[in-house]
Amino acid sequence: MPASPIAVMASGKGSNLGAILAAIEAGACPAEVRLALSDRADAGALEIARKAGVPEVVHLNPRDYESRERFDMACAERIEQAGCEWIVLAGYMRILSEAFVRRFAGRIINIHPALLPAFPGAHAVRDALEYGVTITGVTVHLVNEVLDGGPILAQAAVPVREDDTEATLHARIHEAEHRLYPETLARMIREGFVVEGRRVRWKGR
């Protein structure tokens, strides 16, 4: 199977990008990261991409554009120029414009540190702890115009321990993310899927 070209958009340390690159290197994920793109010049993800030999490693500064839509358009043009089939959000902290989401409808995936639809938003781990749940987890989902609202591709549960802090729980959630994200990406490429309403149906079944 030929490798599927992907773009990874990240704002932070890049641990999920690193996990995907490691899975590709191990032959477990039939993808090729052609473009790593960040809205932050100091994002660790950019250095991870450079060290891995990703062909295009790009920082675009949102302040150089007059609107979110203009910035997203510039990102979209770089993604299309690189010939990427999928867009993988890996700790990308900007909310995508509706025009961007429509342009790549059904081709953008994200990972969220909770079992959606519970605890959407930027503080999912803290919110889960404050609510007092005994199980939280990780969700890989398609991106649509609703924040953390797209159809669910995969989920993994992470138990909450009585002595957990936000930091300890987040660390175990990251471990689950690093397993689930490459596995789900590989399954998407190998099997394919269709979306019926909110349900994802895997073609390999």
Q: Report the catalytic residues.
A: 112
**186: Cβ contacts below 8 Å, ≥ 6 apart:** 23, 28, 29, 30, 31
Alpha-carbon gap, residue 49 to 32, rounded angstroms: 12
Beta bridge partners of 194: 201
Structure tokens at 170: 């987040």
Question: Exposed e or buried b for every residue in 71-100, given b needs 16+ CB within 10 A?
Answer: bbebbbeebeebebbbbbbbbbeeebbeeb
Alpha-carbon gap, residue 191 to 31, rounded angstroms: 13
Q: Name the burial class of residue 123, with classes exposed (0-12), middle (13-18) and buried (19+) by CB atoms within 10 angstroms of its CB.
A: middle
Q: Do the beta carbons of residue 56 and residue 82 sit within 8 Å?
A: yes
Beta bridge partners of 195: 200
Alpha-carbon gap, residue 186 to 176, rounded angstroms: 16
Other residues' Cβ atoms within 10 Å of the Cβ of residue 186: 18
